[in-house]
Copies of this chain bind each other. A is one copy, B any other.
Amino acid sequence: MEFQLDRAQEILERTPATLRELLAGLSDAWTSPNEGPDTFSAFDNVGHLIHGERTDWIPRARIILAQGPNRRFEPYDRFAQNRESRGKSLAELLDEFARLRSENVAILRGWRLTDAQLDLSGEHPELGPVTLRQLLATWTAHDLGHVAQIARVLAKQYRDAVGPWRAYLPVLDRP
């Protein structure tokens, strides 16, 4: 499927509500465990998505659109949420993500991007040249990857409880 801005926006604008239905009000016993060292709990995933709204997608899009002399992105801190989510409840994080995402989708819509703008590029610190189109496709796929990751870390809490069915549920053993 080729990237189309309106298709991408369909996903971007619904992720906060998807996560709210999946997570709001769930017991901490579901939302606080992770999948091992340096992995994310459901709670951590939401904090990670918030950090992306603040520092990654729209800020990087602005660097590309400005086409200034330095188009290199700031490196992304995958563990920033360990600091930033501290002391917050999951309900607060879900609200914060919904608010930031709504603002960012409004900014994206307001730009009324042309094909020529979508072809502009910036410099990823590790991956090299990337286009605005690729950045926006990645924002979208990244959302879906974290929905999958959250469902997986929740499912893993029942890895032993399912008994012999574990053989039929690959999600329980996926890294």
Contact = CB atoms under 8 A, between A and B. Distances in A.
Interface of A: 1-3, 7, 10-11, 14, 17-18, 20-22, 25-27, 29-30, 33, 124, 127-128, 130-131, 133-134, 137-138, 140-142, 144-145, 147-149, 151-152, 154-155, 157-159, 161-165, 167-172, 174
Q: Which label, helix, strand, loop or mixed, suits the secondary structure of the A interface?
A: helix
Contacts of A1: 29-30, 33, 157-158, 161
Contact of A164 (B17, B21, B134): B134
A164 B135 CA distance: 10
9 contacts: A7-B27, A10-B26, A17-B21, A18-B18, A128-B164, A137-B163, A142-B169, A148-B149, A151-B151
A134 B148 contact: no
Contacts of A3: 158, 161
A127 B162 contact: no
B154 A144 contact: yes
Contacts of A130: 163-165
